[in-house]
Structure formats: structure tokens, C-alpha cells
Amino acid sequence: MIRNQWYTVLESNEVPRHTPLSVTRMGERLVFWRNSGGAVTCMHDICPHRRVALSLGRIVGDCLECPFHGFQYDGVGRCRLIPANGKGAPIPQAIRLDTYPTHEAHGLIAIWWGEPRDPVPAPPHFEALDESFSYVTVRDRWATHYSRAIENQLDVVHLPFLHKTTIGRGGRTLVNGPLVRWETHAFERDRLNLWLKNEVDTGQRPLRPEEMLEPNRHPGLQFQFPNLWHNWINDTVRVFAAFAPIDDANTQMYVRFYQSFVRTPVLRDLVNLAAWPFNLLILRQDKATVQTHVPGPSDLRGGEKLIQGDLPIIEFRRRRAELLRGQSAIPEGDTDGPNMAVAGPSTAWLGATPG
Ligand code: FES
Ligand SMILES: [Fe+2]
């Protein structure tokens, strides 16, 4: 997993007001809890004293109390009380916990998974999903690395096959482009914008990415590093996904159906609920196949034989590899100003195993 990123890892309503939540994310056992003001703390779920799970304890004011001997820890991981030593006793500095900065917005909780920074840059979100939208969430656990789950959502070739009974109806098997452009949003080159145009194959040659018209419409798909995705269905309907890494072999999916065409409170909730089974069905159509990938993260050197339509996956892998190497240099081929990069050079890899 890539360090020094904001990872969306939970929905807000998973962390109760008065009870700690134990959950595995990023391969680590973590505890999330809320202080008296409702602010969320994320810390390792291991008491430094005798190393039992803090999540079995209780919230006391602005501290989390260990169930074993009652040590209390505040929101930055400092021990504030060792009952056996008495209230007035000094607390050894060594008795403390690592915490991750948290950010809660849009009904989601993100953690800054990396080295401390002051200030930590603001976590990204899709600004097109404004407060005029309401949503319903499908949660699903997939037995795959989160990079594989992300790539599935960038895979524009699979639609008429895995989803031939749902969103892939119509037999539009021919993939033009797609056109991929990078954008700087919260961090350098962290957002992938994608325009696609699948068609019924009548013998025509698919357009190469560079032949697709300069987009003057909103991208159909967007991916925001490290783990957010947005599908612009139309002005009033969207699908959003967060891919929360549980560990190297499992991903917690949060897929939301967003709409703004019905805003009356009760009616709005009914419409959203009605969309839930359809979205679950689509997700399950993907899940069965994606879980059969070779285990582990996706990789440029994974031995796959990629085609032109896989360009978004190639771009994702390239940037992911850069971030894993700790590099942030703008690669050659950026021709569209300081913040944008056209994905043309990647096509050199097509038809061969990228390496
Ligand atoms: S193990 Fe937590 S207080 Fe002793
Ligand atoms: Fe799919």
C-alpha cells in the first residue's frame, strides 16, 4: 500500500457515538472511537501496558479506557491515567499509542496513513458530488487486493460480458480510446479522468485514444488516489466507490448510488433504497470474477497481455508504481499544461507485457 495518503476506510455510521469499533484496515488492527464532542480518533487496537485489545474497553469523557487495568488514553494516544498508580502520579512518556489523523466528511471517515505532516494536506473528494445529492450504500467484502478492485472499476472492456444482463446490455463490445488524462487535485497527479465510448462492432476500427475528440464534457469515470472512484451516469445520477484496504488479500467495498432527481425526504429515501439491490447485483457480477485474479496486488510486471482498451488500467499501474517508489516526477508526454497529462505514450506498451 502507498504511504502518505488519505485512505477512506469507513462510513461515519459504522463508528457509534459511545462504543469503540475494532476493525482491520491497512493490515493493522485499529480501534475507532468518538470523544465527547463526536470527533473520531483512530489508534492501534493494542494497549501498550499488557497488549490486549483496547476496543473491549469503554469511552470515558475524551479518553478510551482499557478493559484490563483501566489505563486511559486520549485522542492523540497519550496515557492520561494509570489507576493503580493514583490520580496524581506522573505518567511515563513511553506509555502511549500511535494514532492516525482522521477526517470525517460526506458520511465517510478517512485516515492519513503515513508520516506526520504539519499541516496534513486536505483529503480529496469529488466536488461534483455536492450536497444536492442523497445516496444509499452497498457494502461488500471482496477477497482481493484493493488495487484489483480498483482496476475492475477502470476496466471498460468487461462491461458487455460480465454485465451483459445489466449495465452492459446492448452488445457494445468495441472500445474506442479510452481517453485518459491526469489531473492534480489534492496531491500531484492524483486524479485520473477517463472518457469512454463503447460501440456495437459493425466492422469499424476503434478510435485510438489520441483520435478521440477533446473532451468538453465531464469525464465519465474518475479515480482519485489512493482509493476513491466516481462514475458520472448523468447530471443527476452517479455511482461512487471507496475501496478500503483490509489487508493484502481483502478489500471492503463501499459503493454508493447517488441521485439528485428526487429530493423530497421520504420519497428520496425510497428511490435510493430501490436502487440498492440493482447496485448489489452489479457488484456481485464483478466480484465472482475479480476474486479469481492471481493473488496479490496488481503490477505492471504481472504477465498480463493488455490491449488498447486497458489503457486506464495501465495508467493506474504506472502512477501507482511511481507512488510506491516514492517518485512524483511528471513523466514524459505531459503536453497539456502543468496539471494535465495526456496518456498517449502509454500506448507503446499495448500488445506486449508492460515492463
Ligand atoms: S493491558 Fe491495558 S491497562 Fe493493562
Ligand atoms: Fe463491473
Domains of the chain: 5-113 (2.102.10.10), 134-349 (3.90.380.10)
Q: What is the spatial distance between Cα 31 and Cα 65, in angstroms, rounded to a whole number?
A: 12
User: Which of 127, 298, 286 shows the shortest CA–CA distance to 219?
Assistant: 127
52 CA distance to ligand 1 middle (Å)? 7
pLDDT digits (tens, 9 = 90+) for 201-241: 999 999 999 999 877 789 999 999 999 999 999 999 999 99
**Running DSSP on this structure, what letter comes out for residue 158?**
S
Closest C-alpha among 250, 194, 301 to residue 1: 250
pLDDT of 344 reads: 36
Instruction: Retrieve residue 78's grid coordinates.
Output: 497519550
DSSP state of 36: T
Distance CA 210, CA 196 (A): 12
Q: Model-level pTM greater than 0.95?
A: no
- Of ligand 1's listed atoms, the one at least distance from the Cα of 82 is 3
The pLDDT assigned to 188 comes to: 78
Centre of ligand 1 to C-alpha 86, Å, is: 15
- Tell me the best of 46, 68, 95 to mutate to test the pocket of ligand 1, counting ligand atoms within 8 Å of each CB and taking the most: 68
Q: Please identify, by atom number, the ligand 1 atom nearest to the C-alpha of residue 70.
A: 3
pLDDT digits (tens, 9 = 90+) for 119-129: 888 888 999 99
Residue with the smallest CA separation from ligand 1 atom 1 is: 50
Instruction: Decide the pairing of beta strands 79-81 and 99-100.
Output: unpaired
Tell me which ligand sits closest to the C-alpha of residue 287.
Answer: 2
Q: What is the mean pLDDT of each run of 10 residues along the chain (355 residues)?
A: 95 97 98 97 98 98 98 97 97 95 96 88 89 96 97 97 94 96 86 95 96 85 97 96 97 97 94 94 95 89 91 96 73 31 37 34
Question: How far apart are the CA of 85 and the centre of ligand 2, in A?
Answer: 57
In sign, the C-alpha dihedral spanning 316, 318, 319, 322 is positive
* Distance from chain centroid for Cα 138: 14
Instruction: Tell me what pLDDT residue 278 has.
Output: 94
Residue 327, pLDDT score = 52
Measuring from atom 4 of ligand 1, which residue has the nearest CA?
69
Measured distance CA(317)–CA(322) in Å, rounded: 9
Distance 62 CA to ligand 1 centre (A): 18
What lines the ligand 1 site, CB under 6 Å?
Answer: 47, 49-50, 52, 66, 68-69, 71
